[in-house]
Amino acid sequence: SRSTSFGYMSTDFASVALGADGIMQQAKKGKDDRGREAGQEEEEEEEEVHKTCMDQVRENRRTIESLLYIVFLILFTIYAMYAHGNTTDAFAFQQQVKNIFSPFLLVTSVDEWWTFMTGPFVNVSFPFRWYNGELLLPDDLGFVNMQFKPLGTINVRQLRVSSSSCKVSSRLSIQLKSCVSDFSSATEDRVPFGPLAGGMNKFVYKDSSEFGCGSSQCLFSGPITKISYPAGGYIVSLATYAETNTYTIARTAILQLKDDLFIDRYTSAVSVDLTLYNANQNSIAIVRLFLELPPGGPIYPTVDVSVVPVPQLYAGEANVAYLVLEGFVLGAVVLWSFNEIFKMYNLGMKAYLSRYWSYIDLLNLSLFYVSFSQRYGALGVAGSLKFPPDSNEFVSYLQPAIMVWRWKNIMGFNAIITWLKMLRYMGQVPFMTHLIVLFQATAEDVAWLVLIGVIVYMAFGLAFLLSYGDKMENFVTLSTNFGSLYSMTLGNFDMQALSAVNGYLGPFFVVTFTLLTTVMLLNMFMAIVINALSKLAPSPTLANVLESSLQHPAIKSRIARIANAMKPLTRLMGEDEEDEEGGMASMLP
């Protein structure tokens, strides 16, 4: 029995020894695994430390592009606001000039034009007395309305058509020997006319290039007739010397023009051109008092005023901070262009053009370069012109002013594209992604709906043109019809005036058009959007976004490192809790 019990004891000791060895091996294996994991973590940290800056850029390229574009948007917005200048001052300057020459808008005949020129015009353009009758001091002479300094002479200009500019009907050829047509480049007459002076006609045509304006750059388009008039013509200049007798000289010259029959039945338009300088704002106003004399219609007077800050014509007058800001914007556009070229090279032309954002980028960049070409072109043209001109010579700043106007308008249109491109970088936002998918889903159906709208507008445009074109000003041409129809869509129409001209068709046209546009087309658009929304997956919630973000490998690895770093702390906190439990247990009976 002793030998048996001894055998049992030896067996138990052996099993205990084997169990202890197994526990030691498992502990060693666990320690090795933890060491291996720690080594892998150290290696990952070393790899992350040794990552180059370019690797970081590649991983976060979208975010970096978004941040850079936000910075560019801020700079571009400040630049655009500076480019437009002080809009309040410019508008006030323009309105004041229009108020000064507002009596011109009341001219309805040639006789009234002569009355205006010899009365209100010379009174405000060549003042020599105060309102109480006292003579102006020498320093106060030479100001229009005693406010603005005229730069150079004031030109009275006429445009004519030839006597054979249109063909007379064969049935009336015996009674009518000549026919006067509307003004155009084909019908324009440039032959000298007027009384003889020294064996030559007094009035000789002068091309606009003689006073610094390109023949095709300084056109004026009539707001009513839509006829384009050049800046040249038969010109008579009125000097603007700062002298008391300037008023008498100018009025005498205008009366002499009347005696010489300066305006006759072949006159298509008469313009009074002058340039005013506002010292308070350092701006110039290019003024044209334009009178259209169409052969078959009423007289159309127009007061055209274009205000241009002098710093936008001469860089030396500009603010240094603005020039630096412009340099940053232009430099950003150039760098952005190179970025697009690199994209085109890396992706290939076909793959690059397969993305619709590429077309928007190219359009955006093209508009930037076109606008800057107008901006610096204006500086170049203005730099070749004399500023300021003498009181007995005329220099036209209309061409650089038109280039500044184009620069601002192109930049304004491009500002819409530039800001809307921010939607591209907001595509990572779940809601914006859902919205972009909605746009894409409805694009084709909306395009067909727009085509239906064009058909409706064209149909009713022709209907109103034929029924009201010769009776109401709002429906004279097809283009004005489209504007009137759009106003009608917004509820802006005069049913009483339409019914007065045609009591049957007027109400029928209005009711039918508004039903088709505001009821049918609008409801169809809403139906397209609702149908697309019903087919799309619901927009992801914030919880979905966070869950998907946490599944990213980089985020998961960082969370694991934080958990490993917290293990000693959690182990220490666990030992403290055991000590507290042991202390409490020892106190129990």
Compute the distance between CA of residue 565 and CA of residue 560 in angstroms, rounded to an integer: 9
Contact by Cβ (8 Å): 249, 275? no
The pLDDT tens digits of the residues spanning 493-516 come to: 788 888 877 777 888 888 888 888
What's residue 88's pLDDT?
Answer: 72
What's residue 587's pLDDT?
Answer: 42
H helices of 392-494, in order, are 398-420, 422-425, 430-468, 478-489
Identify the band that residue 410 occupies on the pLDDT scale cut at 50, 70 and 90.
very high
Average pLDDT over residues 348-364: 88
What's residue 508's pLDDT?
Answer: 86
Average pLDDT over residues 241-256: 92
What's residue 584's pLDDT?
Answer: 43
For residue 18, pLDDT beyond 80? no
What's residue 516's pLDDT?
Answer: 83
Lowest mean per-residue pLDDT among 216-220, 292-296, 541-545 = 541-545
Lowest mean per-residue pLDDT among 39-53, 62-76, 411-425 = 39-53
Identify the band that residue 367 occupies on the pLDDT scale cut at 50, 70 and 90.
very high
Identify the band that residue 369 occupies on the pLDDT scale cut at 50, 70 and 90.
very high
Compute the distance between CA of residue 390 and CA of residue 241 in angstroms, rounded to an integer: 9
Selected residue with higher pLDDT from 517 and 288: 288
For residue 456, pLDDT beyond 80? yes
Lowest mean per-residue pLDDT among 159-168, 379-388, 531-540 = 531-540
Q: Considering the chain, what is the average pLDDT of its residues?
A: 81
From the candidate CATH numbers 1.10.3470, 1.10.287, 1.10.260, 3.40.1130, the one assigned to the domain spanning 429-562: 1.10.287
What's residue 527's pLDDT?
Answer: 82
What's residue 150's pLDDT?
Answer: 95
| Cβ-based neighbours of 386, under 8 Å, separated by 6 or more | 393, 395
Question: Is this prediction's pTM over 0.75?
Answer: no
Average pLDDT over residues 192-220: 84
Compute the distance between CA of residue 392 and CA of residue 153 in angstroms, rounded to an integer: 6
Average pLDDT over residues 415-428: 83
What's residue 491's pLDDT?
Answer: 77
* 58 CB burial (10 A radius; 0-12, 13-18, 19+): exposed
For residue 568, pLDDT beyond 80? no
For residue 421, pLDDT beyond 60? yes
What's residue 163's pLDDT?
Answer: 80
Compute the distance between CA of residue 75 and CA of residue 73 in angstroms, rounded to an integer: 5
C-alpha to C-alpha distances, 131 to 124, 136, 244, 249, 479, nearest whole angstrom:
12, 10, 15, 21, 47
Name residue, tokens 């159906």. 445
For residue 405, pLDDT beyond 80? yes
Per-residue exposure over 191-221, b if at least 16 CB sit within 10 Å of its own CB, e if not: eebbeeeeeeebbebbebeebbbbeebbbbe
The pLDDT tens digits of the residues spanning 304-313 come to: 999 999 999 9
